[in-house]
Protein backbone atom coordinates (compact mmCIF):
# COMPACT_ATOMS: atom_id res chain seq x y z
CA UNK A 1 0.00 0.00 0.00
CA UNK A 2 1.33 3.41 -1.01
CA UNK A 3 -0.22 6.39 0.78
CA UNK A 4 0.14 9.97 -0.46
CA UNK A 5 -1.13 12.86 1.64
CA UNK A 6 -2.70 15.14 -0.96
CA UNK A 7 -4.18 17.53 1.57
CA UNK A 8 -3.51 17.83 5.30
CA UNK A 9 -5.19 21.09 6.30
CA UNK A 10 -8.51 22.28 7.63
CA UNK A 11 -11.29 24.15 5.89
CA UNK A 12 -9.17 27.23 4.97
CA UNK A 13 -5.82 25.51 4.49
CA UNK A 14 -2.33 26.83 5.27
CA UNK A 15 -1.32 29.38 4.19
CA UNK A 16 -4.81 30.87 4.38
CA UNK A 17 -5.86 33.37 1.73
CA UNK A 18 -5.37 36.94 2.94
CA UNK A 19 -3.72 35.93 6.22
CA UNK A 20 -0.37 37.30 7.36
CA UNK A 21 -0.09 35.44 10.68
CA UNK A 22 3.33 34.03 11.58
CA UNK A 23 2.30 30.49 10.64
CA UNK A 24 1.04 31.47 7.20
CA UNK A 25 4.12 33.62 6.58
CA UNK A 26 6.46 30.80 7.60
CA UNK A 27 4.55 28.43 5.32
CA UNK A 28 4.99 30.85 2.41
CA UNK A 29 8.68 31.41 3.17
CA UNK A 30 10.13 28.50 5.18
CA UNK A 31 13.55 28.94 6.75
CA UNK A 32 16.44 26.57 6.05
CA UNK A 33 15.81 24.53 9.21
CA UNK A 34 12.18 23.88 8.27
CA UNK A 35 13.08 23.03 4.67
CA UNK A 36 15.72 20.57 5.89
CA UNK A 37 13.33 18.99 8.40
CA UNK A 38 10.68 18.48 5.74
CA UNK A 39 13.23 17.18 3.23
CA UNK A 40 13.99 14.43 5.75
CA UNK A 41 10.29 13.51 5.52
CA UNK A 42 10.43 13.43 1.73
CA UNK A 43 8.81 16.83 1.17
CA UNK A 44 10.33 19.51 -1.06
CA UNK A 45 9.48 22.80 0.65
CA UNK A 46 11.62 25.00 -1.57
CA UNK A 47 8.50 26.75 -2.86
CA UNK A 48 6.80 26.88 0.52
CA UNK A 49 4.83 24.61 2.79
CA UNK A 50 1.22 23.74 2.09
CA UNK A 51 -1.68 22.20 3.93
CA UNK A 52 -4.49 22.14 1.40
CA UNK A 53 -7.92 20.71 2.18
CA UNK A 54 -7.90 17.12 3.48
CA UNK A 55 -7.53 14.29 0.96
CA UNK A 56 -5.59 11.02 0.87
CA UNK A 57 -4.57 8.92 -2.15
CA UNK A 58 -4.06 5.21 -1.56
CA UNK A 59 -2.52 2.90 -4.16
CA UNK A 60 -2.90 -0.88 -4.06
CA UNK A 61 0.41 -2.13 -5.39
CA UNK A 62 -0.94 -5.66 -5.77
CA UNK A 63 -3.78 -4.71 -8.12
CA UNK A 64 -2.63 -1.35 -9.49
CA UNK A 65 -5.91 0.22 -8.37
CA UNK A 66 -6.19 3.50 -6.48
CA UNK A 67 -8.60 4.89 -3.90
CA UNK A 68 -9.21 8.53 -3.00
CA UNK A 69 -10.34 9.37 0.53
CA UNK A 70 -12.37 12.59 0.49
CA UNK A 71 -12.66 14.79 -2.58
CA UNK A 72 -11.78 18.29 -1.46
CA UNK A 73 -11.99 21.58 -3.37
CA UNK A 74 -8.22 21.52 -4.04
CA UNK A 75 -8.59 18.36 -6.18
CA UNK A 76 -7.13 19.79 -9.40
CA UNK A 77 -4.15 21.42 -7.73
CA UNK A 78 -3.39 18.36 -5.60
CA UNK A 79 -3.38 15.93 -8.51
CA UNK A 80 -1.27 18.20 -10.69
CA UNK A 81 1.20 18.84 -7.85
CA UNK A 82 1.67 15.19 -6.88
CA UNK A 83 1.48 13.86 -10.45
CA UNK A 84 -0.64 10.89 -9.50
CA UNK A 85 -3.18 9.17 -11.74
CA UNK A 86 -6.90 9.75 -11.36
CA UNK A 87 -8.40 7.35 -8.78
CA UNK A 88 -10.43 4.26 -9.60
CA UNK A 89 -12.85 4.98 -6.75
CA UNK A 90 -13.46 7.36 -3.85
CA UNK A 91 -14.73 7.22 -0.29
CA UNK A 92 -16.32 10.29 1.33
CA UNK A 93 -16.32 10.57 5.13
CA UNK A 94 -18.91 13.35 5.58
CA UNK A 95 -20.70 16.17 3.78
CA UNK A 96 -18.70 19.24 4.86
CA UNK A 97 -17.54 21.14 1.78
CA UNK A 98 -13.80 20.71 2.40
CA UNK A 99 -14.21 16.93 2.13
CA UNK A 100 -16.75 16.77 -0.68
CA UNK A 101 -16.89 19.79 -2.96
CA UNK A 102 -14.07 18.68 -5.23
CA UNK A 103 -16.38 16.02 -6.62
CA UNK A 104 -17.45 18.43 -9.34
CA UNK A 105 -14.02 17.79 -10.87
CA UNK A 106 -15.38 14.44 -12.04
CA UNK A 107 -17.02 16.33 -14.91
CA UNK A 108 -15.14 15.53 -18.14
CA UNK A 109 -12.30 13.80 -16.26
CA UNK A 110 -13.82 10.38 -15.54
CA UNK A 111 -15.72 7.84 -17.56
CA UNK A 112 -16.93 6.42 -14.26
CA UNK A 113 -16.14 7.27 -10.65
CA UNK A 114 -17.75 5.02 -8.03
CA UNK A 115 -18.12 6.89 -4.74
CA UNK A 116 -18.66 5.00 -1.48
CA UNK A 117 -20.25 6.57 1.59
CA UNK A 118 -22.33 5.72 4.64
CA UNK A 119 -25.99 4.74 4.29
CA UNK A 120 -26.92 5.82 7.84
CA UNK A 121 -29.57 8.55 7.93
CA UNK A 122 -28.38 11.70 9.68
CA UNK A 123 -31.12 13.06 11.98
CA UNK A 124 -29.93 16.63 11.29
CA UNK A 125 -29.98 16.53 7.49
CA UNK A 126 -32.58 13.79 7.07
CA UNK A 127 -30.36 11.93 4.62
CA UNK A 128 -27.24 9.79 4.69
CA UNK A 129 -23.83 10.88 3.44
CA UNK A 130 -24.45 8.70 0.39
CA UNK A 131 -27.84 10.31 -0.13
CA UNK A 132 -26.38 13.79 0.23
CA UNK A 133 -23.79 13.06 -2.44
CA UNK A 134 -26.42 11.65 -4.77
CA UNK A 135 -28.73 14.64 -4.39
CA UNK A 136 -25.98 17.26 -4.62
CA UNK A 137 -24.22 15.74 -7.63
CA UNK A 138 -27.12 14.17 -9.49
CA UNK A 139 -26.05 16.10 -12.62
CA UNK A 140 -22.79 14.10 -12.85
CA UNK A 141 -23.58 11.02 -14.93
CA UNK A 142 -20.05 9.75 -14.41
CA UNK A 143 -20.47 9.52 -10.63
CA UNK A 144 -22.17 6.46 -9.18
CA UNK A 145 -22.95 6.38 -5.46
CA UNK A 146 -22.58 3.15 -3.48
CA UNK A 147 -24.10 3.29 0.04
CA UNK A 148 -22.34 1.24 2.71
CA UNK A 149 -23.27 0.28 6.25
CA UNK A 150 -20.91 1.50 9.00
CA UNK A 151 -18.86 -1.22 10.72
CA UNK A 152 -19.49 -3.63 7.79
CA UNK A 153 -16.36 -4.12 5.61
CA UNK A 154 -16.69 -3.74 1.85
CA UNK A 155 -14.27 -4.23 -1.03
CA UNK A 156 -13.08 -1.42 -3.27
CA UNK A 157 -9.86 -1.00 -5.29
CA UNK A 158 -8.65 -4.34 -3.95
CA UNK A 159 -8.86 -3.08 -0.35
CA UNK A 160 -11.12 -4.09 2.51
CA UNK A 161 -12.60 -0.83 3.75
CA UNK A 162 -14.68 -0.19 6.86
CA UNK A 163 -16.53 3.02 7.68
CA UNK A 164 -15.95 3.75 11.37
CA UNK A 165 -18.38 6.08 13.18
CA UNK A 166 -16.72 8.93 15.07
CA UNK A 167 -18.06 12.06 16.83
CA UNK A 168 -18.29 15.32 14.83
CA UNK A 169 -21.50 17.00 16.01
CA UNK A 170 -23.96 17.97 14.78
CA UNK A 171 -23.42 15.81 11.65
CA UNK A 172 -22.61 12.15 11.28
CA UNK A 173 -19.00 11.55 10.30
CA UNK A 174 -16.82 8.50 9.78
CA UNK A 175 -13.26 7.42 10.06
CA UNK A 176 -11.85 4.60 7.97
CA UNK A 177 -9.95 1.37 8.30
CA UNK A 178 -8.33 0.42 4.98
CA UNK A 179 -6.63 -2.96 4.77
CA UNK A 180 -4.74 -4.62 1.92
CA UNK A 181 -5.73 -8.30 2.31
CA UNK A 182 -2.61 -9.80 0.76
CA UNK A 183 -0.08 -8.15 3.05
CA UNK A 184 -2.32 -7.16 5.95
CA UNK A 185 -1.13 -3.53 5.71
CA UNK A 186 -3.58 -1.19 7.45
CA UNK A 187 -4.21 2.53 7.16
CA UNK A 188 -6.43 4.06 9.87
CA UNK A 189 -8.05 7.48 9.42
CA UNK A 190 -9.82 9.10 12.35
CA UNK A 191 -11.99 11.37 10.23
CA UNK A 192 -13.05 14.76 11.57
CA UNK A 193 -13.87 14.05 15.20
CA UNK A 194 -13.72 15.14 18.80
CA UNK A 195 -11.88 12.95 21.31
CA UNK A 196 -15.04 11.07 22.34
CA UNK A 197 -14.81 8.28 19.75
CA UNK A 198 -16.88 5.13 20.48
CA UNK A 199 -14.90 2.21 21.92
CA UNK A 200 -15.90 -0.05 19.03
CA UNK A 201 -14.48 2.46 16.58
CA UNK A 202 -11.26 2.87 18.55
CA UNK A 203 -10.79 -0.89 18.43
CA UNK A 204 -11.17 -0.95 14.64
CA UNK A 205 -8.69 1.92 14.26
CA UNK A 206 -6.14 0.30 16.57
CA UNK A 207 -2.89 -1.36 15.57
CA UNK A 208 -2.56 0.17 12.10
CA UNK A 209 0.70 0.55 10.23
CA UNK A 210 -0.14 4.24 9.79
CA UNK A 211 -2.81 6.37 11.46
CA UNK A 212 -3.94 9.78 10.25
CA UNK A 213 -5.44 11.51 13.28
CA UNK A 214 -7.34 14.78 13.21
CA UNK A 215 -5.88 17.57 15.34
CA UNK A 216 -7.17 21.04 14.54
CA UNK A 217 -5.61 23.39 17.04
CA UNK A 218 -3.45 23.69 20.19
CA UNK A 219 -5.26 23.24 23.49
CA UNK A 220 -4.76 26.83 24.68
CA UNK A 221 -7.02 28.00 21.85
CA UNK A 222 -9.97 26.48 23.71
CA UNK A 223 -9.93 29.62 25.88
CA UNK A 224 -11.17 31.54 22.84
CA UNK A 225 -13.88 29.08 21.73
CA UNK A 226 -17.45 29.96 22.82
CA UNK A 227 -17.86 26.40 24.10
CA UNK A 228 -14.36 26.12 25.52
CA UNK A 229 -12.81 22.67 25.55
CA UNK A 230 -13.84 19.18 26.59
CA UNK A 231 -12.54 15.69 27.38
CA UNK A 232 -9.73 16.97 29.57
CA UNK A 233 -6.77 14.79 30.48
CA UNK A 234 -5.56 14.15 34.03
CA UNK A 235 -3.76 17.51 33.97
CA UNK A 236 -6.82 19.43 32.85
CA UNK A 237 -5.68 19.85 29.25
CA UNK A 238 -8.64 19.78 26.82
CA UNK A 239 -8.44 17.09 24.18
CA UNK A 240 -11.44 18.49 22.31
CA UNK A 241 -11.68 22.03 20.91
CA UNK A 242 -15.29 23.11 21.35
CA UNK A 243 -17.37 20.04 20.54
CA UNK A 244 -16.29 18.69 17.16
CA UNK A 245 -12.49 18.63 16.71
CA UNK A 246 -9.52 17.25 18.62
CA UNK A 247 -6.77 19.48 19.90
CA UNK A 248 -3.19 18.58 19.01
CA UNK A 249 -2.83 17.21 22.55
CA UNK A 250 -6.00 15.17 22.06
CA UNK A 251 -4.74 13.84 18.73
CA UNK A 252 -1.49 12.70 20.31
CA UNK A 253 -3.33 10.99 23.17
CA UNK A 254 -5.69 9.37 20.68
CA UNK A 255 -2.77 8.12 18.60
CA UNK A 256 -1.12 6.69 21.70
CA UNK A 257 -4.36 4.91 22.59
CA UNK A 258 -4.79 3.22 19.19
CA UNK A 259 -1.05 2.40 19.02
CA UNK A 260 -0.18 2.54 15.30
CA UNK A 261 3.33 1.86 14.07
CA UNK A 262 3.42 5.47 12.88
CA UNK A 263 1.02 8.41 12.81
CA UNK A 264 0.55 11.91 11.48
CA UNK A 265 -1.74 14.66 12.70
CA UNK A 266 -3.92 16.03 9.90
CA UNK A 267 -6.65 18.64 9.35
CA UNK A 268 -4.51 21.19 11.21
CA UNK A 269 -5.43 24.90 11.15
CA UNK A 270 -3.14 27.85 10.55
CA UNK A 271 -4.04 29.18 14.03
CA UNK A 272 -1.40 26.90 15.59
CA UNK A 273 1.59 29.11 16.52
CA UNK A 274 4.40 28.99 13.97
CA UNK A 275 6.89 27.49 16.41
CA UNK A 276 4.54 24.52 16.94
CA UNK A 277 2.75 24.24 13.59
CA UNK A 278 5.47 22.25 11.85
CA UNK A 279 6.33 19.63 14.47
CA UNK A 280 7.52 16.29 13.16
CA UNK A 281 4.21 14.55 13.80
CA UNK A 282 2.02 17.19 12.11
CA UNK A 283 1.54 16.29 8.46
CA UNK A 284 2.16 18.51 5.47
CA UNK A 285 1.03 17.95 1.90
CA UNK A 286 3.11 15.60 -0.21
CA UNK A 287 4.22 13.13 2.45
CA UNK A 288 4.26 9.54 1.19
CA UNK A 289 4.28 6.26 3.05
CA UNK A 290 4.87 2.67 1.97
CA UNK A 291 3.00 0.21 4.18
Residue 44 has a pLDDT of: 93
Residue 250 to residue 13: CA distance in whole angstroms: 20
H-run or E-run covering 179: strand 174-179
CB 258, CB 264: distance < 8 Å:
no
Burial class (CB in 10 A: 0-12, 13-18, 19+), 78: buried
Low-confidence ranges of the chain (pLDDT < 70): none
Phi, psi for 114 (deg, rounded to 5):
-70, 130
In 3D space, the residue among 59, 97, 92, 41 whose CA is nearest the CA of residue 280 turns out to be: 41
**What is the per-residue pLDDT for 35?**
95
Has this prediction a pTM greater than 0.95? yes
CA angle 76, 150, 192 (to 5 degrees): 50
Amino acid sequence: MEVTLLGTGDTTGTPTVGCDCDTCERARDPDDRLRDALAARGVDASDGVERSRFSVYVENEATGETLLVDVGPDFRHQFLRERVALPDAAVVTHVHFDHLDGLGNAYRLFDDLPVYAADETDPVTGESVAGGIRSRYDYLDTVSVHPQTPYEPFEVAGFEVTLVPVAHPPLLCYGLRIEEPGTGAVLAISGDTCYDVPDRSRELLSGADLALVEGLIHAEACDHHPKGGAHHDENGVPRTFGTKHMTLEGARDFAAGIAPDDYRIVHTAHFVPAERAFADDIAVDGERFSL
